[in-house]
Amino acid sequence: MSISKIRDLHDAFISKKKSVSEHISESLAHIRARDGELHAFLDVHIESAEREAERIDAKIASGDKLGTLEGIGTALKDNILVKGTVTTAASQILKSYIASYDAFVVERLRDAGAIIIGKTNLDEFAMGGSTENSAFGPTKNPYDITRVSGGSSGGSAVAVASDMVPIALGSDTGGSIRQPASFCGVVGFKPSYGRVSRSGLIAMASSLDQIGPFATSVEDAEIVFRAIEGKDPLDMTSQEINEGVSNKKEYVLGIPEDFMKDGLDPKIEKVIRDSFKKADGANFKFVPVSLKDLSYALACYYIIMPAEVSSNMARFDGMRYGDRAKADTLFEVYGKTKAKGFGVEVKRRIAIGTYVLSHGYYDAYYLQAQRVRTLVSKAFDEAFLEVDAIVMPTTPSVAFKLGEKSQNPLAMYLEDIYTVPANLAGLPAISLPIGKSEGMPVGLQLIGKRFADYELLAIAKRFEETVA
């Protein structure tokens, strides 16, 4: 796409250098040209997108004021409900499910005038780190189609990285926005838990899930975040935050040196350290911080998350929505529906979650994990007394080969080692592309104080400008 930044597109629409219809046509042409190979989309809303583009072009012709996001093509991860369209969560059990209402973020995007072009691929019910767990086939990395896109929001990351759309939404439970953003060389932002409503998001792990944007710049991610954040009466965990942002001359960034030793590819570390050197002294000061309790975060996450998965997946019984298997008794219907409709990774997580919640193991595993979660949050709180943000890798490696880790769940889970702590503590976190290793993108992660989302975005924007 010749113009991909939101403000550039907005200016082009107003000056009539480009029409909204032309912008949408370019997006659809890119999807037709590349999606057969990459498989970023599960559904493309051609007619509704073209119709909405024509409406906004007529508005521009009449001289009406245009909002910043108005006319901008947008993609949504297919676990976010869009009324009247198929929403599958990349699962066979929901392959024919038609959403009955719009998610809160969809309402906000529509209010802002964004045009929803389609729904993107993901790991089934957002369970995975490669988008290989989709019931409809994997999404491939645009830099190397023999490699994964990351997950679980791989489709949204690829849609932005391959210039199909300027912006997209994903969901992040343990790194599902930041990890594919890192693998695909785009910006991925996970807001603080509670800043964006989860109403209309098909729940995976309710105390961890958060919707956030993919974009090609921090500024674009901020524009989208500003549109979708806020209090929602349908989500009691959502909050209206009046955040005052300080514009400091120098930001202090903490490096958790001990934690960064865990499984980090030396080539990734070199790219990360080089970015530190470039930014040091140029509006940034780097200091070591102690975050030893973060070493327990991954184990803690893989107890709490499956427990919540086990609870949330219970609703998919073939009774109220989704496909239903034929059987003679009610319990046979339940069993056959789930056996047929769920993939291997979903079944694995349900089994683990049911186990840790069962009598005799609840105290030993689940309650203990919740205590560790508190320690992780306290470790961040103590670090933020000294620093403005934490800086670390987004992932321990670049995008790996398709099939390389699909038969080794533990190796796949270790890809989340740097991203899960922010979810456990409910903190905002962003991944920025800062370079490449062996031709593949490398992401840097910045983690901010809870509800200091705009401050984190300001830090990320300055870092982006410094290392560009």
For residues 110 and 15, what is the distance between their CA atoms, to the nearest angstrom?
Answer: 23
For residues 43 and 63, what is the distance between their CA atoms, to the nearest angstrom?
Answer: 33
CB 210 within 8 A of CB 237: no
Which residues make beta-bridge pairs with 262?
none
CB 464 within 8 A of CB 433: no
What region does 220 belong to: left with phi over 0, alpha with psi -120 to 50, or beta? alpha
Q: Which of 27, 91, 134, 152 is catalytic?
A: 152
Long-range contacts of 43-46 (CB under 8 A, 24+ apart): 43/78, 43/85, 43/86, 43/118, 43/119, 44/117, 44/118, 45/82, 45/85, 45/116, 45/117, 45/118, 45/119
Tokens representing residue 342 in the block = 């769920």
156 in active site: no
- E runs forming strands in 352-421: 389-393
Four-residue CA torsion sign, 166, 170, 174, 180: negative
- E runs forming strands in 81-210: 115-120, 140-141, 144-148, 167-171, 187-190
Tokens representing residue 363 in the block = 């105290």
- Chain position carrying tokens 């960064």: 260
CB 112 within 8 A of CB 234: no
Scored b (16 or more CB within 10 A) or e, 131-144 reads: bbbbbbebbbbbbe
Q: Which of 91, 134, 162, 176 is catalytic?
A: 176
- Chain position carrying tokens 């901008």: 72
Please choose, from the candidates 418, 189, 188, the residue with its C-alpha nearest in 3D space to the C-alpha of residue 291.
418
77 in active site: yes
77 CB contacts (<8 Å, ≥6 apart)? 119, 120, 122, 126, 153, 155, 156, 168, 169, 170, 171
Q: Which of 4, 19, 77, 199 is catalytic?
A: 77
Phi/psi at 230 (5° precision)? 130, 170
Classified as helix, coil or strand, 325 is coil
Please choose, from the candidates 195, 200, 111, the residue with its C-alpha nearest in 3D space to the C-alpha of residue 429.
195
Positions marked active-site: 77, 152, 176
